[in-house]
Amino acid sequence: CTLNCHVFQESLLSSSSGYSNYRGILNWCVVMLVLSNARLFLENIIKYGILVDPIQVVSLFLKDPYSWPAACLIIGREPLSVICYCRTGTISKTTGLILHILNLTSMLILSSATALTVTSMTPVGGVISLGVYTVLFLKLYSYQDTNRWCREIRQAKAKKMTRSFSYMYYFVFAPTLCYQLNFPRSPRIRKRFLMRRLLEMLFLMQLLVGLIQQWMVPTIQNSMKPFQEMDFSRMVERLLKLAVPNHLIWLIFFYWFFHSSLNFVAEMLQFGDREFYRDWWNSETVTYFWANWNIPVHKWCLRHFYKPMLRNGVNKFLAQTAVFLASAFFHEYLVSVPLKMFRLWAFMGMMAQVPLAWFVGRFLNGNYGNAAMWISLIIGQPIAVLMYVHDYYIIHHVNTT
């Protein structure tokens, strides 16, 4: 046997030990997270019973199919916009610019007016229709901007003139907001990949609806009384209770939209660029998160908004603030208009990201910055949800009674 059984060494949990394999602790965290959420879900079932009703959601759309103002708003406007832009090559530059400005302005104003005045349009239908209009607005802006750049550098003019009506419609339905003369195309449609994405879309959509019916709605309904009585401790308790299902639904929605849905559309159209998101979950700064969780919007902002401002002499901080300001406007536009009430909670929540990004970037690094990003997502969203639901409840239920 050896005489010496001790050597100079640090404890494993000391930072100086160089030890980095914490897989068991990570598994423990996952198990604890699953058990704690399982307890919350079981408590919800015992308290409220089974509230999931898929037929209820379907009946909302089939109740009166002849009075779907949201669908009519989408179907009626999009072909006119596409036809207008396909014919811009046959008119003068000045006339085309005037039509461009009028078309984009009327697109937002008329859609907002319709959503505000048509009483049969539900908030969900309003969000969907205004979301489609916003996407079309950004696409047509990119189409005009890109063709202007081509004319300025006097390149690819002949290619531009040969762009067909069908190619313009391809761009409208393609999972991108940035126009270019030739998109990368995949060689074939992978049927198995397409079927997996379709099954994910169907399953996750039903899961989202079920979680909202079973978990979100009762929690929000029980939050109204503490808000009316201004019971601060109960308000905080309701906020923290809502944070768990809200964040889980947000994560599922992210996967459903940015991975399943956009990949499904891209595969159908053989669209080659599938970078719809990057590793935002590893964000150590707020700026990195906003630049990587929604790549289509980030590319549009960078290409058509941020870089043009830098070229015109605007400093970097003001340009970033302007991007957040535009994003805040569209966030508020997509919430307040469908709810038919003017509030600034989404706008202020987005603008609060500017000082938060400065603080995290200056004082927090590494895991601390990543934790700050997660906290802002987990806590910030349910605050906005409760504020809007409370105001909507006061306007449409308390005031009417």
Task: Write down the domain spans for the chain.
Answer: 61-173
Percent of the chain with pLDDT over 90: 20
CA nearest neighbour of 295 among 257, 345, 242: 257
| In the predicted structure, residue 277 carries a pLDDT above the cut 90 | yes
The pLDDT tens digits of the residues spanning 122-174 come to 777 778 888 888 888 898 888 888 877 877 776 544 444 445 667 788 888 89
The pLDDT tens digits of the residues spanning 90-123 come to 555 666 667 667 777 777 777 777 667 766 677 7
Per-residue exposure over 21-55, b if at least 16 CB sit within 10 Å of its own CB, e if not: eeeeeeeeeeeeeeeeeeeeeeebeeebeeeeeee
Q: Determine the 3-state secondary structure of 306 from DSSP.
A: helix
Looking at 153-221, list the stretches that DSSP marks H as alpha helix, in order from N- to C-terminal side: 157-161, 165-173, 191-211, 217-221
What gap in Å lies between CA 267 and CA 57, rounded to an integer?
Answer: 28
| In the predicted structure, residue 276 carries a pLDDT above the cut 80 | yes
Mean pLDDT of 375-381: 87
Residue 90: per-residue pLDDT? 54
Residue 190: per-residue pLDDT? 92
Annotated active-site residue 390? The verdict is no
Catalytic residue, candidates 6, 100, 247, 331: 331
| Gyration radius from the chain CA atoms | 25
Please give the mean pLDDT across all residues of the chain. 81
| In the predicted structure, residue 76 carries a pLDDT above the cut 60 | no
CA nearest neighbour of 293 among 202, 196, 377, 227: 377
Residue 252: per-residue pLDDT? 93
Provide the whole-model pTM. Answer: 0.83
